[in-house]
A and B are shown apart, each in its own frame.
Chain A
Amino acid sequence: MNPLLSLRGLETRFPVRNAFGLRTGWVRAVDHVTLHVMAGETLGLVGESGCGKSSLAKTIIGINRPQAGEILFDGHDIAGLHAGERRAVARELQYVYQDPGASLDPRWKIGSLLEEPLKIHTALSPAERRRRVVEILRAVGLPEAHLERYPHEISGGQQRRVGLARILTLRPKLVILDEPTSGLDVSVQATVLKLFRELRDVFALTYLFVSHDLSVVRLMCERVAVMYLGRVVEVGPTAQVFDAPRHPYTRALLSALPRIGGRRVTDDLKVAGEPPSPTDLPQGCRFRPRCPLAAERCAAEEPALGTEPHAAACHFA
């Protein structure tokens, strides 16, 4: 079985400029990432701020241009495509913003917003488009009357559903969800996750689920990849990674997660310090300054990610 999405040695860098506009360094937001996603699965991509997960998602979808590496989608390398060629890919590979409601043009009616993807990519008749749009609206649990409304006339939660519906009209194969539950109340989050699950089943979707919320990722994803400062440090089946983490950073991350009903993490904190500046990375393993296992080897040699199914980039894994 070939993966639906395969990243090989992907690299996205951003220049850092000083006050005069001269480049003083690079931020390696995505630093030689190799990862794959199988059709039908939900891969979680976790990490804290600055780890590069959002940049990686935006690179896959084409908002950022990679400096090196391959993005094989359904067998074709889409990394080096121009904007025009990218548009054909858009039909199959889609991206959901943290707030899908914000993806709605406030001056357009919802019906027109939902028809637009079909107008761009298909040659369906107006009647056929209308039929598909009504079908999608029902799938996300909204009434047909909404077609005549404007985004600001419906609630935030309903806007979110319309934003999702808009993407689903194209029946994409892979959908990247970028922090979909960030900032949401717990009960609203539950509703949204339920919706994602239903849509995944109805539309046979594959998800790349980017989030900093580990408990949500544990719930939704079969496999998970952990990122730290631009690199994937651990990847494997979610249950294994969470129950028996192999990389010290993953262990630190999990240990800091509050567990209701369990031991208080603040009683027994294992992680100290903060991530270094992304322009000034340490030599060798980048987690070394904060790692309880750090040894000489870690400063000399950057560890490689092992082999799947459960791999970790650590000399002591």
Chain B
Amino acid sequence: MAALVDVLSRMARDRAVLLGAALILLLVLVAILAPLIATFPNDVWDIHPTQRLRPPDASFLFGTDRMGSDIYSRILFGARITIMVAVVAIGVSLLIGVPIGLVAGYYHGWPSDLLMRFSDIFLAVPQIVLAIAIAQTLGPSIENVILALSLTYWPWFTRLVYAETRSLKNEIFIESTIALGASPFRVIVFHILPNVSSAIIVRSSIGMGFTILTAAALGFLGLGAQPPAPEWGRMISESREYLPDAWWYALAPGLAIFLVVMGFNLVGDGLRDILDPRLRRAPKSNG
């Protein structure tokens, strides 16, 4: 508990991290409060052909799109999709990647090598390409985007956890716990995992940003949520035809993506500095 308070207070002193945290908080609030703060909540699926492509004004804060729907409201609801994709994709990646990394790092020999080569295969595939392949086979949908993202992101966790586990295995406190008779399960779950958790948190934060960006790219290619879902990437894709006249059409979703990704990256970078050296450094004296 005290450790958490300390981390939070350190975060508060770092302006970049604060900005990032604020942006993420904004995203979450927007997603939760969307029905309340949207000016035209029904525009998620309603169309208004008479209001097509209006520039931003008092009632349509970000203008309207090709269906006449209010872009501002659609952006707000799109935040929900964004969060869902990020959280589920990273969550599944964690669930797959971390255990594999732990096991591969803890044990030696060919099983460990096999696991790492297996994860290398997935690393070699560009996310976009795999996503396209999945979409072609299974049909475009937001679920399939999440599937594609999870399948391509988990090796990053595996690599990270593998390296950390290998180095932790040389630490005396791990060696002595093994000498004390602890089973591999106990050592991995209760000693190694807590000590790699800060690295995992940092990677998750940056991973969220990366995932959102890739999801947007997939949406842009038409592989994600299908209309009328207000997915940000898709909105940018739709705007292509109408640029540069309907400049507001791409600006709003583009800005939203930019701010969210930057938010996660700032927090991730800041956390890396705050979490690791702090907890590794233990002041010692003789006596």
**Residue ranges of A at the interface with B (Cβ–Cβ < 8 Å):** 61-63, 83, 86-88, 90-91, 94-95, 97, 99, 101-108, 116-117, 120-121, 151-152, 155-157, 159, 163, 166-167, 170, 184-185, 188
Contacts and interface: CB of A to CB of B under 8 A. Distances in A.
Contacts of B179: 61-63, 90, 94-95
Contact of B279 (A87, A107, A117, A188): A107
A62 B180 CA distance: 11
B182 interface: yes
28 contacts: A63-B179, A88-B181, A90-B180, A94-B179, A97-B176, A102-B173, A104-B173, A105-B174, A105-B191, A105-B194, A116-B177, A120-B181, A120-B182, A120-B183, A120-B186, A121-B181, A152-B283, A155-B284, A155-B285, A156-B285, A156-B286, A156-B287, A157-B286, A157-B287, A159-B284, A163-B176, A184-B286, A188-B286
B195 A105 contact: yes
The 6 A-B pairs with the shortest beta carbon distances in the complex, nearest first, are A90-B181, A103-B176, A152-B282, A157-B287, A87-B181, A102-B172
A121 B191 CA distance: 17
A261 B77 CA distance: 87
A210 B287 CA distance: 22
Interface in B249-287: 279-280, 282-287
Q: Is the interface of A mostly helix, strand, loop or mixed?
A: helix
Nearest to B171: A102
A175 to B, nearest CB: 12
Contacts of B280: 106
A121 B179 CA distance: 12
B251 to A, nearest CB: 46
B173 A105 contact: yes
Contact of A63 (B175, B177, B182, B186): B175
B173 A120 contact: no
A151 B195 contact: no
Given A106-B173, A163-B176, 11 more contacts: A95-B176, A101-B284, A102-B172, A105-B177, A106-B282, A107-B195, A116-B177, A156-B285, A156-B287, A157-B287, A159-B284
Contact of A87 (B183, B191, B285): B183
Contacts of A61: 179
A121 B182 CA distance: 9
Given A103-B176, A105-B173, A117-B180, A151 B186 contact: no
Given A102-B173, A103-B173, A105-B195, A166 B282 contact: no
A184 B285 CA distance: 11
A99 B181 contact: no
Contacts of A87: 181-183
Nearest to A152: B282
Nearest to B175: A63
Tell me the dominant secondary structure on chain B's binding face. helix
Nearest to B186: A120
A139 to B, nearest CB: 18
A188 B173 contact: no
Nearest to B197: A107
Contacts of B279: 106-107
Contacts of A90: 179-181
B182 to A, nearest CB: 6
Nearest to B282: A152
A265 to B, nearest CB: 28
Contacts of A99: 172
Interface string B29-60: 00000000000000000000000000000000
A156 B284 contact: yes
Given A105-B173, A157-B286, A184-B286, A91 B194 contact: no
A59 B195 CA distance: 28
A185 B287 CA distance: 9
Contacts of B176: 95, 97, 103, 163
Interface in B139-191: 171-177, 179-184, 186, 191
A174 to B, nearest CB: 13
A62 B171 CA distance: 17
Contacts of A152: 282-284
A86 B184 CA distance: 13
A255 B64 CA distance: 95
A63 B191 CA distance: 19
Contact of A185 (B173, B191, B194, B286): B286
Contacts of A83: 184
B180 A166 contact: yes
B286 A116 contact: no
Contacts of B182: 87, 116, 120
Contact of A116 (B171, B172, B180, B287): B180
Contacts of A117: 180-181
